[in-house]
Amino acid sequence: MSAQPVMACVAVGANLGDAVATVRQALHQLAALPSTQLVRASSLYRSAPYEAQGPDFINAVALVQTQLSPLALLHALQAIELQSGRERPYKNAPRTLDLDVIFYGDVALDTPELAVPHPRWFERAFVLLPLAEIWPERVNPAQLAAVQDQAIQRITL
């Protein structure tokens, strides 16, 4: 565990099963992680698969304050994915749940297991739009303009 709490950003997505319920449940599970508090969660968004196949995704972004190390956070997220039935049959396969660490404070880390900031976060509307909603300081207009052709819609239920 790190000594001081760190603000981390987690992208949440699902496109198999009841994706809305799965994303909501994952947000609750993030809030229940040890030494972690859910600070803010975005609205839910529907987006077309990006560099992938299958049904539309339901996406959200969450900010958590955590004392877990970057790898401990990653492992906790992978455990949540497994609980939801996540399988990895091939790259970018449809999934019951996908949790990605986008930022971990100002830490820059690039290992075979984890890269933060996430190397492609700024290329994906399904990260940028929810992130702009809850942490607008992290997103600039040029980044939003670069993804404006990606199909994404905020959903209200």
Domains plus CATH for the chain?
6-155 (3.30.70.560)
Q: Which residues are catalytic?
A: 86, 95, 98, 100
Contact yes or no for 69/1 (Cβ under 8 A): yes
Element (H, E) at 128: helix 125-134
Prediction pTM value: 0.91
What pLDDT tens digit does each residue of the chain (157 aa) get?
456 899 999 999 999 889 999 999 999 999 999 999 999 999 999 998 877 778 899 999 999 999 999 999 999 999 999 888 766 555 555 578 989 999 999 999 999 999 999 989 999 999 999 999 999 999 999 999 999 999 999 997 6
Give yes or no for a contact between 67 and 2, defined as CB atoms under 8 angstroms apart: yes
